Amino acid sequence: MNFSYELIEKYKKTKGYTQDKQVISDFEEFNSGNMSKIKKGTRHLTANQCIEMANAVGMDQKEALLKLAIEKSKSKEEGKIWSDIVKKISAACIAGILAAASLTGQVVTPHLRYRR
């Protein structure tokens, strides 16, 4: 399943929709032909559709757009580059959170027990 279709399915679940036509009615430039092509993986959501659906399901817009870029990539190399960017951003975010937490003294480490 491709990212566009996964996001549509999450959107349907969030809105309580059971049919694709309910999703189609929420977006002006969407039609049943587009939906069919997205399901087949031959078409993708637009950036605006992606952002609106991400907001509706509570997904980070940046993450959604990066996943859409990976899906739209024309070659394996391009997809790998986008994936690497996502990994680096995620690692930087985690490092930033840990650094900020360590400055405030809020880093909690699990109690380690050693068996002898």
**Contact (Cβ atoms closer than 8 angstroms) between residue 82 and residue 66:** yes
Residue 23 pLDDT? 93
Q: What is the DSSP letter of 16?
A: T
* Tens of pLDDT, residue by residue, the chain (116 residues): 699 999 999 999 999 999 999 999 998 888 999 999 999 989 999 999 999 999 999 998 888 888 888 888 777 776 677 777 777 776 766 766 766 666 666 555 566 565 55
Residue 112 pLDDT? 58
Helices (H), the chain: 3-15, 20-26, 32-40, 47-57, 61-72, 76-104
Q: What does the block give as tokens for 49?
A: 């559709």
Answering whether pTM is above 0.85, one says no
Residue 95 pLDDT? 67
Distance of alpha carbon 115 from alpha carbon 108, whole angstroms: 22
